[in-house]
Each structure stands twice: as structure tokens, then as C-alpha cells.
Amino acid sequence: MSSSPAGRATGARPPGVVDHGLEGRIARLLSVGTVISVVLLAVGGASLLIGGVQPLQSAPAFDAGQMVQDLLALHPIGLVWLGLVVVLATPAARVAAGLVGYAGRGETGMALVAALVLAVIGVGVITGLLGA
Amino acid sequence: MDVGLLMLAGGFVAGLFGSLLGLGGGILIVPLLTIGFGLPVREAVGVSLVSVVMTSGASAAVFLQRDVANLRLGMFLELFTAAGAVIGGAVAFAIDQRYLAAMFAILMLYVAWTMIQGARRPAAAASPPTEIEPASHDAEASLGDDEPGTAGPSVDEPLGGTAATPAAMTAVTPPAMTAGSPVPPAEPTFVARLSRPGYRVGRVRLGSFISIFAGIISALLGVGGGIVKVPIMHLIMGVPLRVATATSNLMIGITASTSAIVYLLRGGIDPYVAGPTAVGVFLGATLGSRTAHRVDLRVLRLLFVAVLLYTAYEMTRLAIGLP
């Protein structure tokens, strides 16, 4: 965000020059998020199946408070919900990492874009909550 | 047999099929869950979106590490696909599910037609194997290509009419980069920063506007939306096909997760179905990306076209209410 010469020195990256550090961090974030979500869904789903729950039974709707309670009670459905939340939150976390990375380098334009993407996701959350 | 295991197996086959053919698993998940398990179309779309986000996350990480995906361009266009995804997510709960089924049938017919066209193209058969292992989890990336993920020329190769020419590259070179330039250094423009060595990104406004529709389609049909995103970037914005495919894959995460959040909060995602299906798709896509180069895709493609036509027929029946 800085317009100082020092800020410009880091932010005035010529076109075509890739910040491998930022892209590498984001790649690791995506990988870790994906692995965590797969493990949570696999363990939770397998536990549900072993417990006799069938997928075509009437399922509960998402409730964040209930998810926390299920997790504290070590109920498998809590793991499945958490896995779904991690799946859906990982891309947003990637954008947040981009926001921090670009802002740190003084790239106001890209930082603003990342912030706006997060804002649109926020609108999606509000849209979902209003229709719930 | 246990329904959960059947869903896991079905997801696995869908992920494997989609990965081998460079298509997203989403295009098979929705018909699998609606026709195979009798789920409402909207719930199937919600589960499909989760599967799409999960598989794209893994492959997008590899594309970033290999420096194929354009993070800046992807993040910029995500702004518009995410906006479209919010719109599509809201619309999906406002319209009759039969319309969703009808739209899905049209999508499948289009994909089948595109695959047939791609198979007829002689040049595609000679395409070299891709360097990129992860399958493009997008229903468009390789539609016209013969090999999965064979996304045309490499970043460094000029692409007829779209890649940057030396003159074009000069156009994006900021004055500060020009040797012996008498003018003082200037900041490159925001749009110039979206370009990379080897190509120049153009027609950004048009590409941004059409990206909104990619988000809407993704949210309504439970696919990655690459069927729109890749052509936008490649044909309109001048991005090489391979880069467009990788960048589209990166964008899928935000596009699909934004609408999936709407589905989740409105009760449109069944956790009992999403768990086994998404894990199955992920495992199938992972296996497919590692074995694609060893598989003869000609027979597989014909089989896939037949599957698409059959499911398009079934979705049409669902749309018009036939028993």
C-alpha cells in the first residue's frame, strides 16, 4: 500500500514477474486444506457408515453451533460438517493469503481485488443466511 | 450393498472418468445422484459443487507450483465469477428444479457435441502428452483436445493469433524495462501486470463481464464453470490454452465454493451424501491424473459420449416430468 520509494521498490514488480514465494505459499495452503478436508470427510463418513447411518436418510441442515457441539461430543457428523467447512473455506483462505501477500508488497490494486473477492464471498454468506 | 459405499464407488468412477477425459467430475455427479440415487437436482448440485472444490484444490496447487496458472489473472476474474456464483446460487433456490434438469441436459448435449468435434480434429490426435499431471477439473478445459489436460501449446509457444508477438511483448514492457530509455521509470498498469512472459492479456472488460455468466452456470449446474472460463481467457483475452486451463482450475475453488456456501447455509447440501461422494471423486480424480497418459482414450471417449447422451435423455425426462 505504500507509495514510498521503498514501497515502490517492492511493489513495482514489472509485468510477467511472478512472486514464487506467494504462489508457493498459496499452493501449500491449498494442498493442506484439501488433505485436511479429505481426511475429515473420510473419517467422519466412514464412522457414520459403521454406525449404521445411510446417506439417503433425512439429513440435518448445517448449524455452526450444533457442529461445535457434535465435535466436542466426538460425533462423526461433526467431522463431516467440519470437513465440508474446511473444503469451502480453503479457497477463501487462499484469497486472504493473497490479500496479505499483495498488501505486504504494496500492490494496492491486487490487494483491493482480493479484498473485493472476500467481500463477494461475504455477500454469498449473507445470501445463504437470509434464505435459510 | 451399502448405499454409502455405492456413492463412494460412484464418485470414484465419476472422478476417474472426468480426470481421464479432462472433464470435471461435476458433470457426472449430478446425473449420478439424481438418476442413480433419486436425489433432488438441487441437492445433487450442492454435493457436486463440494466435490468440484475439493478436486480443484489439489490440482490448482500443482498448477501454481509449476507456475502454469496465472494467479493475478485468476484472482481478478474470480471477482466476477464469484459475483455470478452468488446470483446463480440465489436463482437456484428460486426456480423449479425441473429447469435445472433441463439446463443440465443441454449442457451434456453440448459437451457430447464438443467431444465428437474434438475427436474429428486430426491435429489433436498428434498432441504431445501433457507435462501436467493433475486433471483439469473443469468441464471445458480439454473438450477439444484429445488427451486429458493436453491444453495446447506451452506457455512459451506462440499460439496462433492469441499469444504475444514480439511487438505485443514490447507493448507490455514498461518504460523502466527498456534499455537506454530516456523516459523516467513508470509504474506498469494494473492490466499490464496481469500479463506474463509469452503472452499479453487483453480485452479485460469483456472477459470480466462474461465471467459473471461462468459463475452463474457453475452455481446452477454444479460444475466448475470452466466451459465458459477457458474460452473467455483463451479466445477473448489471448491467454494460451494451457495457462487458461490451469488458471480456470485455480478459479474453480472460489467460483464453486461461493455458491456452495449459499447451498450449505440454505440446507442444500446433504452431509451424508456429500461425504462419501466427494471423497470418491477426489480419489478417482487423483488416480485418473496419474494414469491418464497410459490409457487409450479413443474408446473411453466414445463410451463417455454415449453416457452423456443417455444422461441428457434421462435429465430431459426428469425436466418434463416423465415417469
Contact A113 B79 (CB under 8 A): yes
- Domain limits of chain B? 3-320
**Chain B residues closer than 8 Å to A60 by CB:** 271
Of A28, A53, A88, the CB nearest to B257: A88
* Selected residues 155-174 of chain B with any CB under 8 Å from a CB in chain A: 172-174
Separation in Å, CA B108 to CA A3, A110, B117, B150, B314? 51, 36, 14, 21, 11
**Chain A residues closer than 8 Å to B269 by CB:** 62, 84
Report the alpha-carbon distance of residue B247 to residue B242 in Å, rounded: 9
The per-residue pLDDT for range B46-62, each reduced to its tens digit, is: 999 999 999 888 889 98
Question: How many Cβ pairs within 8 Å bridge chains A and B?
Answer: 218
Give the model's pLDDT for residue A18: 54
**Chain A residues closer than 8 Å to B163 by CB:** none
Predicted model pTM? 0.81
Partner A contacted by B199 (CB < 8 A): no
Separation in Å, CA B301 to CA B17, B22, B118? 9, 11, 10
- Give the gap in angstroms from C-alpha A64 to the nearest C-alpha of chain B: 10
The residues pairing with B199 across neighbouring beta strands, listed in sequence order, are B196
Query: Which parts of chain B register pLDDT below 50?
Result: 124-180
Of A24, A38, A94, the CB nearest to B54: A38
Give the model's pLDDT for residue B322: 74
- Give the gap in angstroms from C-alpha A96 to the nearest C-alpha of chain B: 11
Report H helices in B164-203: 166-172, 190-194
Residue B122 CB-density burial (10 A; 0-12 exposed, 13-18 middle, 19+ buried): exposed
Contact A95 B254 (CB under 8 A): yes
Q: In the structure grid, which three cell numbers stand for residue B107, read together?
A: 449442457
Contact A84 B93 (CB under 8 A): no
Q: Interface pTM (ipTM) of the complex?
A: 0.85
**Chain B residues closer than 8 Å to A125 by CB:** 261, 265
Contact A57 B272 (CB under 8 A): yes
- Domain limits of chain A? 21-131
Q: In the structure grid, which three cell numbers stand for residue A60, read together?
A: 440435518
Give the model's pLDDT for residue A131: 81
Of A22, A55, A91, the CB nearest to B254: A91
Of A27, A49, A89, the CB nearest to B65: A27
Rounded to the nearest 5°, which phi and psi values hold at B199?
A: -155, 155
Contact A15 B193 (CB under 8 A): yes
- Give the gap in angstroms from C-alpha B243 to the nearest C-alpha of chain A: 13
**Per residue in B23-48, is it b (16+ CB within 10 Å) or e — as a string?**
bbbbbbbbbbbbbebebebbbbbbbb
Give the model's pLDDT for residue B181: 52
DSSP per-residue letters across B28-82: HHHHIIIIIT---HHHHHHHHHHHHHHHHHHHHHHHHHTT-S-HHHHHHHHHHHH
Q: What's the average pLDDT block by block, 10 residues per block, for chain A (132 residues)?
A: 40 51 93 96 93 82 94 95 97 97 94 98 95 76
Give the model's pLDDT for residue B253: 93
Contact A49 B37 (CB under 8 A): no
Report the alpha-carbon distance of residue B50 to residue B261 in Å, rounded: 9
